[in-house]
Amino acid sequence: MTLSKRHLALLALAIIALTVLPTMLKTYGLYLLTLWLVYIIAAFGLNLTVGYAGLKSLCHAGFMGIGAYTVAILMKAGVSFWLATPVAIVLCFAFGLLIGFPALRVQLHYLGFATLGFNLLLMLFFRNEEWLTGGTFGIQNIKRPELFGYSLMGNLPFYYVVLALTVIAGAALAYLLRSPWGRAFAALRDNPIRAESTGVNITAYTLMSFAIGAAYAGLAGALFAPLVNFIEPAPFGIGNSLLFLLMVVVGGSGRFYGPVLGSAIALLLPEYLRFAKDWYLAVFGFAVVVMMIWLPGGLLSIKETWQLHRAKRDVKSARPEAA
């Protein structure tokens, strides 16, 4: 990805806005904004697996759960957040590799079910292993960390840490996608058979797309735990995994900024509209159906879909004259 000047300017503007704006927000607004960033990190990872490498993953919330529980459990055991987070990321990476293996064996659509089943298994683990996870009661009072002696207990300092990590995570992803890896992922997505005969090691790239995607969820989970101070199994269930997939698709899968838009629509708005959440999700679910019919490329593809539509119409209207 090469950045145009306009793109750079807009990006700088967005980051400045995200730096200044929160000073004017109240507690709940700030919480939502932080949550949005956390979801964006997770969705960045899923977009790599789903949008760029073209694999179906339906256990992203589960990966996020692994990250959140790892950090919560380690912090309760007295381990520093800054040590626990890398552990969470590595653990998720390892689980991603593990889940990637069926991907090599099975036909594409089975993969969705395999990952869904894995998420179910994780939920059972979170619920049943009370000695470790606190069962349905979860783990309470997860403290926010300190950084260089400064406490991040306050909402604003913690927000800035999350913002910084989001920018770093996004930049790392952009760097990866810009490298030959990005093209190899796309080759894997567009035509695995051709990719293999042109020297693309599809085993390695499949596993990596899963593992890196999971690692992003691990980071998101690690930030989620101290953000909400309390974790329980519910947010890491199958329902949220489906929402994660939909938010990548709705934003525009395989588009870098797709997850930014998608996570606002699929996870942030329902949280904001808490009292009407279920109605909102009902409308959202049906809207996805309509979107897959009219705009399968996601919201960020509106312009191209419209151009394509017009081009087709022009061809249609031009045809009688040519004949």
Partner 1 sequence: MTDFFQLLISGIATGSIYAMAALGFTLLWQAAGTINFAQGEFVMLPAFAMLIGIAAGLPLWLAFVVAVAISVLVLGAGFKRLVVDPMRGSGVVAVVVATLGLSIGLKSFVKAGYSAEPHPFPSVFSEEVFKLAGVTISYSDVGALVFAGLMVLGLQMLLNKTITGRAMQAVAQNTFAAEALGINVKRMILYTFGINAILVAVTALLITPTYLAKFDMGDNIGLKAFFAAIIGGFNNSRGALLGGVLVGVLENLAGAYLTPSYKDGVALVLFLAVILVKPDGLLGTPQERKV
Partner 2 sequence: MSVLSVHDIKKSYGAIRAVDGVSFNVEPGEILGVIGPNGSGKTTLFNSILGQIKPDTGRVEFEGVDISGKSPLALSRLGVGRTFQNLQVFSKLSLRDNLIAAAQEFHGGLWGRIFAPSDNGVGARADEMIEMFRLKHVADLPAGSLSYGQQKLVDIAMAFMPAPRLVLLDEPCAGVNPSLVDGLRDLLIELNRKQGGSFVVIEHNMDFVMKLCHRIVCMVEGKVLAVGKPAEIQNNRAVLEAYLGN
**Interacting residues toward partner 1 by CB under 8 A:** 56, 102, 105-110, 112-114, 116-118, 120-121, 124, 127-128, 193, 238-239, 242-243, 245-246, 249, 276, 278-289, 291-293, 296
Q: How far is the CB of 43 from partner 1 (least distance, A)?
A: 15
Host H or E run for residue 151: strand 150-151
Count of residues touching partner 2 (by CB under 8 A): 26
Cβ contacts of 154 within 8 Å, gap of 6 or more = none
201 touches partner 2 (CB under 8 A): yes
If the CB atoms of residues 16 and 302 are measured against partner 2, the closer one turns out to be 302
Helix (H) or strand (E) holding 196: helix 192-197
120 class by beta-carbon count within 10 Å (0-12 exposed, 13-18 middle, 19+ buried): middle
The stretch near partner 2 (CB under 8 A) out of 20-28, 61-69, 84-92, 186-194 is: 186-194
Q: Which does 94 bind (CB under 5 to 8 A by kind): partner 1, partner 2, none?
A: none
- C-alpha dist (Å) from residue 134 to 63, 227, 234: 18, 18, 13
DSSP letter (8 states) at residue 238: H
Tell me, residue by residue from 241 to 280, as one string, x for binding to partner 2 by CB under 8 A and - for no binding: -------------x--------------------------
Task: Give CB contacts under 8 A, 24+ apart, made by 11-17.
Answer: 15/167
* Closest separation in Å from C-beta 16 to partner 1: 35
Q: Distance between CA 171 and CA 187 in Å, rounded?
A: 22
Q: Does 171 bind partner 2 (CB under 8 A)?
A: no
**Chain residues in the site for partner 2 (CB under 8 A):** 175-176, 178-184, 186-187, 189-191, 193-202, 204, 254
